[in-house]
Amino acid sequence: MIYGVGIDLVKIERIKEVTEKWGKRFLERVFTENEISYCYEKKNPYLSLAVRFAAKEALIKAIGSEIPVSLTDIEVVNYGNGKPSIKVHGKLKQFLESKNIHDIHLSLSHEKEYGVASVVLESG
């Protein structure tokens, strides 16, 4: 059963500007160490940062306003085949378990100026 759906669109240049202005302070507030490392292995880290930010926002939209969420409790990971997925930590993990949400489906894409993420939460 579908518990929630969320989508978010992010302007890649916005993430680049914020990262250049605030640097490590911004990155560590929003992303996990693994996410930062993964993105900075890429030729253009801002594409990967932008879609990860969009994924976090899409997940928050999918759960609604039921609980406050720390962005670092949401971690976008990639399997060996490149498929993105979301790992949750902390209070968010406890919340999803309490709602019997067992699958988080994630799709990411970027094109020129924008990155987009879509999340579907499955329960039951």
Span 28-46, pLDDT tens digits: 999 999 999 999 999 999 9
Tens-digit pLDDT profile for residues 76-108: 999 888 899 999 999 999 999 999 999 999 999
Residue 42 a catalytic site member? no
Write down the catalytic residue from 11, 42, 43, 61.
61
Residue 3 has pLDDT above 90, yes or no: yes
Q: Treating both helix axes as pointing N-terminal to C-terminal, what angle do 33-40 and 45-63 enclose, rounded to 10 degrees? A: 140
Mean pLDDT score across all residues of the chain? 96
Residue 105 a catalytic site member? no
Query: Exposure of 14 by Cβ count < 10 A (0-12 exposed, 13-18 middle, 19+ buried)?
Result: middle
Closest alpha carbon to 44 in 76, 74, 19: 19
In this prediction, residue 80 carries a pLDDT of 82
In this prediction, residue 82 carries a pLDDT of 85
Q: Calculate the CA dihedral of residues 55, 58, 59, 60 and round it to 10 degrees.
A: 120
**What CATH number was assigned to the domain covering residues 2-123?**
3.90.470.20
Name the pLDDT band for 56 (thresholds 50, 70, 90): very high
| Percentage of the chain exceeding pLDDT 90 | 94
